Amino acid sequence: MLRAENLTKRYRQGSVTVTALEGFSYEFPPGPTAVVGPSGSGKTTLLNLLAGFDLPTEGEVELGGARLDRLGEDERAGVRLEQAGFVFQSWNLLPTLTALENVAFPLLLAGVAAGVRRERAMALLEQVGLADRAHHRPNQLSGGEQQRVAIARALALEPAVLFADEPTGNLDSAAGHRVLDLLLEHAVGERRLVLVTHDLEIAARAERVLHLRDGRLVKIEEPAAV
C-alpha cells in the first residue's frame, strides 16, 4: 500500500514560511502513476515524503503498512530497503564503487549472497545496456550511463514501490524509451511506479496522471482520459 492523507510540507526561509506541498491526499493503486506540474509545483517534495526521505509538517504517509510519519530515520530506511526503490535526479551513485557494485549495493544491505548479488546486478546492467561498463566507476561514465546505473540499482530488490524523479531526463530519445519500458514492465501485478516527469508524452504512458500546481493536487487523469 502507498497512501497519503492531507500531506503538507512547509519550510522556513528566514522570516518567511514557504509551503511546498499542501493537503495532498491520494491512495496509489497498483501500476504506473505519473506526477506532472511546472517547476516548483511540489513534485520532488512529494516523492521525498512518500519515500520517507523527509517528514511532513502535517499529514500521514503509509508505505507497505508502515506509517512513515511516525517513524525515526533508521526505521524509515528499513522500510525503504524492504519496500521501495528510488531513482534520484542526481543519481546518488557511490563514487568509490563500480557500476556493478553500485547496482549490487542494495542486495548487500539485504544480506543476499555474493554470487547471487553479482548475477542479479549484471543481469540488470545488461537490461539497461551497460554490461560492458560494469567495472567502471561513476566518474568514468557519462551522465546518461550513470542514470541507467541508478535505475538498475533501484530495481535490484524488485521493490513493491518504485519512485522515479525525472528518470529519462539525461537520456537521449532511444535510451529514454528503453528505460521507460523497463520501469513500466516492473509495475505489474501489485507493484507500483510513481514517476515524476516534465514530459507529457512519457506521462501519457502511465495508467493515471496526477497534476500538481502550487503544491496542490489540482487534477487526476484516469486511464480513459490519458
> What pTM was computed for the model?
0.87
- Cβ burial of 81 (10 Å; 0-12, 13-18, 19+) is middle
Query: For the residues 18-28, what does the mean pLDDT come to?
Result: 96
What percent of the chain shows pLDDT beyond 70? 98
Which has the minimum average pLDDT: 62-66, 100-104, 166-170?
166-170
User: What span, in angstroms and rounded, lies between the C-alpha atoms of 216 and 9?
Assistant: 11
pLDDT class for 50, splitting at 50, 70, 90?
A: very high
pLDDT at 225 over 50: no
Bigger pLDDT: 174 vs 22: 22
pLDDT in tens, 186-197: 898 999 999 999
What percent of the chain shows pLDDT beyond 90? 75
**How far is residue 110 from each of residues 91, 144, 152, 210, measured CA to CA in Å?**
20, 27, 16, 32
User: What span, in angstroms and rounded, lies between the C-alpha atoms of 68 and 53?
Assistant: 9
pLDDT class for 198, splitting at 50, 70, 90?
A: confident
Bigger pLDDT: 83 vs 178: 83
User: What span, in angstroms and rounded, lies between the C-alpha atoms of 12 and 197?
Assistant: 27
**What is the CB neighbour count within 10 angstroms for residue 96?**
9
CATH of the domain spanning 30-55+73-225: 3.40.50.300
Partners of 62 in the β-ladder: 3, 67
pLDDT class for 223, splitting at 50, 70, 90?
A: low
pLDDT at 224 over 70: no
pLDDT at 43 over 90: yes
